[in-house]
Amino acid sequence: MSEIIKLSSPSDFESLREKIIKGRDPNRTAVAVCSGPGCLAYASGKVFKRFEEALSAAGLEGEVTLAQTGCHGFCERGPSVVILPDEICYLRVSPEDVNEIVETTLKNGAVVERLLYKGEDGLPIQKESDIPFYKYQQKVVFGDNKRIDPRSIEDYIARGGYTALVKAITTMTPEAVIAEVKDSGLRGRGGGGFPAGAKWEATAKPPADTRYVIVNADEGDPGAYMDRGILEGNPHSVIEGLMIGGYAIGANEGYIYVRQEYPLAIDNVLYALDVLRELGLLGENILGTGFSFDIIVHKGAGAFVSGESSALMSAIEGRVGEPRPKYIRTSISGLRGKPSCLNNVETWANVPLIINKGANWFKSIGTEGSKGTKIFSLVGNVKNTGLVEVPMGMTLRQIIFDIGGGIRDDKEFKAVQTGGPSGGVIPEEMLDLHVDYDELYSAGSMMGSGGMIVMDKDTCMVNVAKYFLEFLSDESCGKCVPCRDGIDQLLEVLRRMTAGTARPDDLDLIEDISVMMKECALCGLGQSAPNPVLSSIKYFKDEYVAHINDKSCPGGVCKALIAYTIDVEKCIGCGKCMKVCPVNAISGDKKKPHKVNNALCVKCDSCYQECPSKVQAVTKIRQADVITAFATSEEAANE
């Protein structure tokens, strides 16, 4: 902000807004350099620096706006640079490309073709929204990232920011705000999918002198970063939602609980709060309406269990972030024993949109029971990974194949895990399932906070279940027996399976422990911990049975159960496998079938990966069959 004038009435705000909009040329060129977590890892910081230098060298600083923005979504192809207003989307931009972009695009109005996305037909696509990854998305919450410098409240206000807050506190009663949110059908985006309006109402109801509204930005799911993407890229949207919630519920204090592993999110939020206080949009008697509200940022230790509502509130109170054992709703007795409303980052970010555009608009997106959009973090063996925002009701197939571009290396699809470590896997037969809280739940998975991990045919479902349980075993607080010792023993069973030492009745043991945990564990972590195991048994029981009875791993992953061999019929003798083998276990003459010496092989999988995908001569077999396989391939190779 150049000069800060304290706003003391709604009309002050309106004049500021008009001034900002008037001062803006919609056709002004702007360069949005993504500085989300994915792109930063690909040196987008350097790209930004180069732009600063190049623009000043070209004397363009005055004409072109340059901004470091939050995640654009297509992290797989980062660093992503979008040139507005034409939305020219450059991907995998390196610092060395910057001068050319400035020269060609900013100075001469042409495009640098080699940095554009190439479609299936090999033709370059210029506009971001025409790229298939973006084309099928509906960016409602997440779309402004590339148009907003997270450090600029003017950018946010120019996009309609804080008009919802002003509308709520000047023209609506708290009850009317709650009614609108209730009517919209907005459900929690952080896990359980609880109706937000009903929670607000329950928090507003009990008589109390103090109430709290809280943002859950613990984001503990491995591989998920939707909330980070919003907080880093568009912090004001969450803050505005929280303020509207505070007004509706009757709270004068809000908390944002962010894991400390998100320093940029924390910085951007703190910066935004400072600006708001200076402007008079936060603090005592906001815009002279009598509504007072302030926000405190709490940095959390980043434990998965701290995201659980009672644990999170304990942590804010300065105690150990462990779940409370009491059966009392936090809407009645939450933070410091006061009625408290906790919602997820994405839930809060939807609120200003609902207030501005109305419940009916919101309801027009989505399915009967799930309204609006949802952001997913699409990762795993899918071609286009990144953050995607889709309308509720889209099928998993559309997300994975149309947006995600299908399976990497054109392998076969096997399953998709939704809902993070508390969710479950969904098999190919159910790919036409709609993204909808209830549909996912009845399929044995859940929406969760939006993790979506795609797995190809070379995945072992037992091993995947083991991976999630290992994560949860590290994250369990260890307080209650069902979770602490249940996970421990479940892991023992899965370890036996992957080591080929499973017992015949191990599936019964899994069942006994799991059903008990679901109903007896103290908090949601333990109650949902068996889900990844149960859902994969539901759809991939044959794989479990193979591990137990046949000592084989159909996914070809569990090292103790597999061995490598080369199919003499297919091998073209290119020698690639021999070169990568770290222990010289492969031998063979040029253009002749090669062979694996299983006595030497350490099962590193390199040869399997290296053998040309058209040939696929390296094959995985059962360890138990090794003697014969070795003999056959040797005989064959010697023929």
492 binds another protein (CB under 8 A): yes
Q: E strands along 457-569, which residues?
A: 562-566
Binding mask 375-404 vs ligand FES (x if CB under 6 A, - otherwise)? -----------x------------------
Q: Measured between alpha carbons, how far is 430 from 418 in angstroms, rounded to an integer?
A: 13
Binding partner of 492, given ligand SF4, ligand FES, another protein, none, CB within 5-8 angstroms per partner class: another protein
- To ligand FMN, the closest distance from the beta carbon of 330 in angstroms equals 9
Beta-bridge partners for 424: 418
The residue with tokens 């991907």 is 91
Binding mask 289-308 vs ligand FMN (x if CB under 6 A, - otherwise)? ---------------xx-xx
Quick check: 93 and 47 in contact, CB under 8 A?
yes
Euclidean distance between the first and the last CA atom of the chain, given in angstroms as a whole number: 80
CB nearer to ligand FMN: give 450 or 573: 450
Q: Measured between alpha carbons, how far is 305 from 220 in angstroms, rounded to an integer?
A: 8
User: Where in 504-543 is the site for ligand SF4 (CB under 6 A)?
Assistant: 521-523, 525-526
**Could you tell me the two tokens for 131?**
């790229």
- To another protein, the closest distance from the beta carbon of 507 in angstroms equals 12
User: Where in 311-330 is the site for another protein (CB under 8 A)?
Assistant: 325-327
Angular region, 61: left φ>0, alpha ψ -120 to 50, beta rest:
alpha
Candidates 177, 231, 342, 494: give the one binding ligand FMN (CB under 6 A).
Answer: 342
34 binds ligand FES (CB under 6 A): yes
Q: E strands along 423-508, which residues?
A: 424-427, 451-456
User: Where in 208-227 is the site for ligand FMN (CB under 6 A)?
Assistant: 216, 218-220
Candidates 54, 75, 231, 637: give the one binding ligand FES (CB under 6 A).
Answer: 75
Name the amino acid, one letter, at 603.
K
- To ligand FES, the closest distance from the beta carbon of 70 in angstroms equals 8
Provide the pairing of β-strand 424-427 with 562-566: unpaired
Phi, psi of 312 (to 5 degrees): -60, -40
Quick check: 482 and 526 in contact, CB under 8 A?
yes
Binding partner of 73, given ligand FES, ligand SF4, another protein, none, CB within 5-8 angstroms per partner class: ligand FES
Name the amino acid, one letter, at 245.
G
Q: Measured between alpha carbons, how far is 459 from 233 in angstroms, rounded to an integer?
A: 34
Quick check: 315 and 204 in contact, CB under 8 A?
no
Binding partner of 583, given ligand FES, another protein, ligand FMN, none, CB within 5-8 angstroms per partner class: none
User: Where in 440-479 is the site for ligand FMN (CB under 6 A)?
Assistant: 449
Neighbour order of strands in the sheet with 451-456: 386-391, 373-380, 451-456, 413-418, 424-427
The residue with tokens 């660093």 is 79
Binding partner of 407, given another protein, ligand FMN, ligand SF4, none, CB within 5-8 angstroms per partner class: none
477 binds another protein (CB under 8 A): yes
Largest CA distance in the chain: 93
CB nearer to ligand FES: give 233 or 530: 233
Calculate helix-pair angle for 481-499, 531-545, nearest 10 degrees: 20
614 binds another protein (CB under 8 A): no
Calculate helix-pair angle for 174-184, 196-204, nearest 10 degrees: 150
324 binds ligand SF4 (CB under 6 A): no
Tell me the residue nearest to ligand FES as measured from the CB.
36
Binding mask 151-170 vs ligand SF4 (x if CB under 6 A, - otherwise)? --------------------
Q: List the one residue out of 407, 467, 372, 396 whose CA is nearest residue 140.
A: 372
- To another protein, the closest distance from the beta carbon of 492 in angstroms equals 5
- To ligand FES, the closest distance from the beta carbon of 280 in angstroms equals 33
Candidates 306, 476, 531, 633: give the one binding ligand SF4 (CB under 6 A).
Answer: 476
601 binds ligand SF4 (CB under 6 A): yes
Classify 366 as helix, strand or coil: strand
Q: List the one residue out of 292, 475, 455, 302 whose CA is nearest residue 379.
A: 455
Q: What is the DSSP letter of 1?
A: -
Candidates 32, 239, 571, 629: give the one binding ligand SF4 (CB under 6 A).
Answer: 571
CB nearer to ligand FES: give 44 or 417: 44
How many Cα atoms are found within 13 Å in the side-chain-facing hemisphere of 257? 32
- To another protein, the closest distance from the beta carbon of 473 in angstroms equals 5
**Given the rule CB under 6 A, which residues bind ligand FES?**
34, 36-39, 71-75, 78, 80, 386
**Given the rule CB under 6 A, which residues bind ligand SF4?**
305, 323, 476-480, 483-484, 521-523, 525-526, 564, 566, 571-577, 580-583, 585-586, 594, 596, 601-607, 610-611, 615, 617-618
**Given the rule CB under 8 A, which residues bind another protein?**
303, 325-327, 473-482, 484-489, 492, 505, 509, 512-513, 515-516, 519-522
